[in-house]
Amino acid sequence: MSAALCSRKNIDLLIDSALIVREEIPDAVFVIVGTGPASKYYQARVREKGFRRFFVFTGFVPDAELPKAYAACDVFAFPSAFETQGLVALEAMACAKPVACLSDSAASELVEGYGCGVTFKNKASDCAAQLSAQLRNRKIFRAKPAPARLILQRAVHRQADQAI
């Protein structure tokens, strides 16, 4: 997850899903990239739940370094329903990473439409099931590099058509 961390990013869902994922994928590690007004809250929740050993909070990462963060992940988890464009999902897709996002988010249309990952309901059990499936299959499933520019162009045209 890469973000300006605020409560609307729904990181609570990822935290609540973590233990379920780790029961099936014991080596799963959750890396939260970014900083913001809710950073300390999320770090405290992870500590309170006893999850510190499998959560990493990187803090701010410069734009030039973000491709390295995407390259290091097996699955890009995107629990936010707040995003209007889902640019971080596009960035992950452009780095050939499967994206797991909320089924009612802006990114879900891109993920489902281009076969670049999976969607989940806003429930810890569903999020965990989809993340676990992607992690289980990480050796055989590799997202195809999405033509990010083409995807963005189509999305912009579709939004313009709907507005007219």
Enclosing H/E stretch for 77: strand 76-78
Confidence (pLDDT) at 141: 47
Neighbouring CB atoms inside 10 A of 152's CB total 16
CA atoms within 13 A on the CB side of 150: 7
Domains of the chain, start order: 7-163 (3.40.50.2000)
DSSP character for 80? -
**Which tens digits make up the pLDDT trace of 44-62?**
999 999 999 999 999 999 9
pLDDT at 92: 87
pLDDT at res. 140: 44
Residue 44: per-residue pLDDT: 98
CA distance 80 to 86: 9
Categorise residue 49: left if φ over 0, alpha if ψ from -120 to 50, beta otherwise.
alpha
Q: Which stretches of the chain score pLDDT less than 50?
A: 140-141, 143
CB-based contact 33:1 (threshold 8 Å): yes
For residues 58 and 31, give the distance between their C-alpha atoms in angstroms, rounded to a whole number. 7
The reported pLDDT for the residue numbered 151 is 58
